[in-house]
Structure 1
């Protein structure tokens, strides 16, 4: 972690505050992170391992979890899986994962199990606070009053209630998956490259584009009939993704050939 003598971000007008659970077995890291978050206006609880984190989350559901990937015993991936499994139809608790710098495989695994964001070690505590703010702000943002439900191909999304169904069944979407689906539904037929999605959905002007790739893959696994042959979120090679609105494409009288779902460049 970067030295902690940098400018403290502190609370600012209009920021969303809430309860944050910090999970890290390194007491120094945990203390510094908790201190920055508390000075930024958050209520912070700390846990040093996976079981303690799950117990804390069960006692008092946090608004966000800052979760170290490399925990003793039960690692951060398993903790994230179990947090997701406990959602019980409610919106999932957002998770910001702490990963080792340069360990892309671990970073992608964290996103695959449902982390909403990540920060690599060594990291700036101020950067972490800004990421936490960004995730919580998006999680608490309300859709405009009276906005109609978004519907296409058996999908029904209520942006205000942050609920999504497919053929009437509730979809267990993470924060970013939900926002990504809403963005696609609002921009049907448009080719969206990963840079645009990162800017519009994540609110970042730069970052690791594999974050977008992983979230598209996870979203496909939940909304496509055959995620290996996606008909709704189509890959436009070398350009990005395009959402196909209307009836499910394979139900149309003249269905076109499917596009395989290997996400290389797009």
Structure 2
């Protein structure tokens, strides 16, 4: 939580607080445009993975967002529900989909992660 408004409040007060939060948000440092992964580097701006051997794999926007989210979690187990809510903007209680699994599979293929050492599935919990 960054701020709160006590009831009753005016719309003018609420909008002023929202504007203040947005101003502070813009001052934060932008996330890095590239990140090292085993065997190469991910370029989030241009959405590709460059490997040390010169090979290059393009990433879709969703794959790029998912990979950044998982890297930012720093080894924490991330559930499908969390990914659906935070990246796809969907309510996991009202959505039945395997799209997360498919995106993970595509990322593993592009990363050359056949043994799931980079993107691990934690059965019944999510991905790490």
TM-score range, shorter chain: 0.5 to 0.7
Q: How many residues align?
A: 97
Counterparts of 1:198 and 1:170, CA distance in 2: 28
The residue aligned with 2:36 is: 151
Counterparts of 2:42 and 2:107, CA distance in 1: 14
Residues 86-115 of structure 1: per-residue CA shift (max 9 Å, x gap): xxxxxxxxxxxxxxxxxxxxxxxxxxxxxx
Counterparts of 2:97 and 2:120, CA distance in 1: 17
Contact 1:151 1:185 in 2 (8 A): no
Instruction: Give how far 1:195 is off.
Output: 0.6
The residue aligned with 1:166 is: 51
Q: How do 1:49-88 and structure 2 match up within 5 A?
A: none
Contact 2:47 2:59 in 1 (8 A): no
Structure 2: gaps spanning 5 or more residues: 1-28
Contact 1:224 1:232 in 2 (8 A): no
Counterparts of 1:208 and 1:161, CA distance in 2: 31
Does residue 231 in structure 1 map to residue 117 in structure 2? yes
The residue aligned with 2:99 is: 211
The residue aligned with 1:4 is: none
Moved over 4 A (4+): none
Counterparts of 2:48 and 2:106, CA distance in 1: 17
Contact 1:194 1:209 in 2 (8 A): no
